[in-house]
Amino acid sequence: MDLADILTKDQIVTDLKATNRWEAIDELVDVLVATGKIRPEHRDAVVAVVRKRENSMSTGIGFGIGIPHASTDVIQEVVGALGRSRRGVDFEALDNQPVKLVMLFLVPQGQFQKHLHTLANIAKLLHKAEFRKALEEAPDAETMMDIIRQHCGKK
């Protein structure tokens, strides 16, 4: 699974309001609820599992990237939401730099290999400087989605 498989333009927030990682997680989980990817009654459980994972170690991996993720039994397929912050979010990242791109994803419980594979694909793609720059400069969610599809080899 890669970003083009997980995202639609409706799952992209072009201007995160969040100032810290907890607000960013809440904002992106709300996008998943709004787009029907998770049920409203599961929102709090999803936030709790992502926060629990994030408390064990920040998923701010450096280079302005945060990839909060978790496994949960309330979904049947991998789902995600991408947020962009122009001013940067305090993610307590490994390099202590503000995070500009936050990619939240969830994997169904028990799919450990899919979880690792998805995380690796997302991290590899977001480590490409030209890809990050293109996303950061894109004027809207549709353009961001086009950039993602191009970099994932999808039309």
Q: Which residues of 127-148 are buried (b: 16+ CB within 10 A; e: fewer)?
A: eeeebbebbeebeebebbbebb
Q: Exactly one of 69, 115, 117, 127 is catalytic; which is it?
A: 69
User: Measuring CA to CA, how many Å separate 107 from each of 74, 116, 129?
Assistant: 10, 10, 26
Which token pair is 50? 């992502």
Q: Is residue 69 flagged as an active site residue? A: yes
Instruction: Write out the catalytic residue numbers.
Output: 69
